[in-house]
Amino acid sequence: MAFIIAPHEGAAEGLQRVIREQAEKLASECSEAQEHASAFAHKARVRCKRVRAALRLARPLMTEKAFARENRWWRDLARLLSDLRDASARVEALESLRPFLVMRIGPEPTRRLEERFLAERRAADAAEVISAFTARLEARDGDLVPDLADGSRQKLVKALGETYRMARTAMKTALESGEAELLHEWRKQSKYHALQVRLMRQQFPDALDRRVAGVRDLAELLGEVQDIEVVAEAARSWKQRPAGFFDVLKTRRTALVTGASATGAALFAEKPRDWIGALAPPVLAGQD
């Protein structure tokens, strides 16, 4: 099935099924990982992110100890691929910026930077990294779906409201400072919220169907900001970089942050309590 909780599924049933499907697909994809290392690193980290988004929704149905254990395990699993993914991300980030860079610094400097990033990706020890990843996944021996207590849809809504709050707070903090690390945190929290909206969209189609596209667009804008940070950091030691290279990146970054700010302001205009109340009023019944 798709990455979504179906209307007929109970909260625990739907989340366990989603986690199981992501884990099974990940295990299956490991068989061809060595032949397609870069693509695998990206896809595997996405699957880990999806599982962690589902775990956050499932948090009210688990003990805190169980949630912390599962969340940490999937986080650490994804981190095994970080260096390999970073080497590929530099190439992909440059590709996304290519039209912008070619117009401003020219095709030849852009080509030289691409060659530099491609050489770094070739130098990454993909075989060892993927072997370590696969071994850790197999060590769980298929025990990848947590035990979840039965729970109502309202509990999932509260968990969804928490990721809304975290993304909204991260947005405010990031826009106040403009620091790369805080913009990355905003992107991370927005992606968790976007994934949970996808999971829950058939539960509240009138409200969440429209939101799916908006949170996806926000994540893509912030992803482009991250692309610029990746390229800029990797190019700091590039002795052949043309004059004004970082100014060009800064101009593009400013435009993207402005766009993300406008998109985020529309998506997170309401206070978390008001947003949850509009989504599912019964959740707040009897609360202050």
Contact 129, 83 (CB under 8 A): yes
Q: Is residue 261 part of a domain?
A: yes
Q: How confident is the model at residue 1 (pLDDT cuts 50, 70, 90)?
A: low
**Per-residue confidence (pLDDT) for residue 122, from 0 to 100:** 79
Q: Is residue 19 part of a domain?
A: yes
* CATH at 118: 1.40.20.10
Per-residue model confidence as pLDDT tens digits over 131-167: 999 999 999 877 899 999 988 888 899 999 999 999 9
Euclidean distance between CA atoms 203 and 201, whole angstroms: 5
The domain tally of the chain equals 1
Q: Is residue 245 part of a domain?
A: yes
**Per-residue confidence (pLDDT) for residue 177, from 0 to 100:** 94
Can you give the residue range of the structural domain that contains 26?
Answer: 11-281
Euclidean distance between CA atoms 104 and 127, whole angstroms: 38
Backbone angles phi, psi at 285, to 5 degrees: -60, 130
Count the helices and strands in the chain (H runs, E runs). Answer: 11, 0
Q: Is residue 5 part of a domain?
A: no
**Per-residue confidence (pLDDT) for residue 38, from 0 to 100:** 83
Q: Is residue 234 part of a domain?
A: yes
Q: Is residue 95 part of a domain?
A: yes
Q: Is residue 24 part of a domain?
A: yes
Euclidean distance between CA atoms 115 and 248, whole angstroms: 20
In angstroms, the Cα distances linking 133 to 73, 172, 219, 243, 274 are 12, 36, 26, 41, 42
Euclidean distance between CA atoms 49 and 46, whole angstroms: 5
Q: Which residue has the tokens 């975290």?
A: 166
Mean pLDDT (whole number) for 107-123: 86
Contact 216, 191 (CB under 8 A): no
Euclidean distance between CA atoms 204 and 191, whole angstroms: 19
Contact 221, 26 (CB under 8 A): no
Is the pTM here over 0.85, yes or no? Answer: yes
Per-residue model confidence as pLDDT tens digits over 208-243: 998 999 999 999 999 889 888 888 888 888 888 888
Q: Is residue 287 part of a domain?
A: no
Residue 288 has a CB neighbour count (10 Å cut-off) of: 4
The residue ranking higher by pLDDT, 94 or 75, is: 75
Q: How many Cα atoms are found within 13 Å in the side-chain-facing hemisphere of 138? A: 10
* Residue 266 confidence (pLDDT) above 70: yes
Euclidean distance between CA atoms 239 and 178, whole angstroms: 27
Euclidean distance between CA atoms 208 and 195, whole angstroms: 11
**Per-residue confidence (pLDDT) for residue 119, from 0 to 100:** 86
Q: How many Cα atoms are found within 13 Å in the side-chain-facing hemisphere of 37? A: 22
